[in-house]
Amino acid sequence: MTFLQHIRNERARQQKKKPLKRDVFNQICSLVKQYDLKESFLSVLDNVEDDLSGENLKFNRVRLKAPMERPLFSLATKDEYALIMSIIDKVNNSYLKFAHSPEEILLCGLLYRLNPSLTNEKLMRYHFETLLLHERAKTNNTEPNNKVQDGAKP
């Protein structure tokens, strides 16, 4: 093996194919296009915290995520780009790339504040509403007024 062949082989070994990861921009862009979101969604996003804090969420249901097809690369108009970037700036957490609907975008911030360490598997599989209900139930069961019985899982 000559020196030139050795260099070529070494460079080829170092440049192995890496899987293409979908980023948060492509995820939100596909949601904006699929649900035809407009600027009014930003005002809903601003007011979601007030609505959820007073809402009593005590449902016993498990919602799995519906499969979502999204392109590898997104093309957005100037208005769509501005909306996408505004949503990303307002929510600004790592759960946003797992959102599959506008409803999940709205729940994303509260879920992240309740538990910022959810696994990617849970975020990919379960709807954010289900995860939010589970996290709220855990915090309600561990409050001093609601004592957890011995042997019961918190």
pLDDT tens digits, the chain, 154 residues: what are they?
A: 789 999 988 888 888 777 667 689 999 999 999 999 999 999 999 888 666 654 555 555 677 887 777 777 889 999 999 999 999 999 999 999 999 999 999 999 999 999 999 999 999 999 999 999 899 888 887 765 544 444 444 3
Task: Report the phi/psi class of residue 36: left, alpha or beta, with left for phi > 0 and alpha for psi in -120 to 50.
Answer: left
Residue 7 resides in a domain: no
Query: How far, CA to CA in Å, does 154 sit from each of 63, 69, 143?
Result: 21, 36, 10
Residue 12 resides in a domain: no
- 64 bridge partner residues: 126
Q: Are 112 and 94 in contact (CB under 8 A)?
A: yes
Residue 50 resides in a domain: yes
- Residue 39, domain extent: 21-141
Residue 97 resides in a domain: yes
- What's phi and psi for 105, nearest 5 deg? -60, -40
Report the predicted TM-score, pTM, of the whole model to 2 decimal places.
0.73
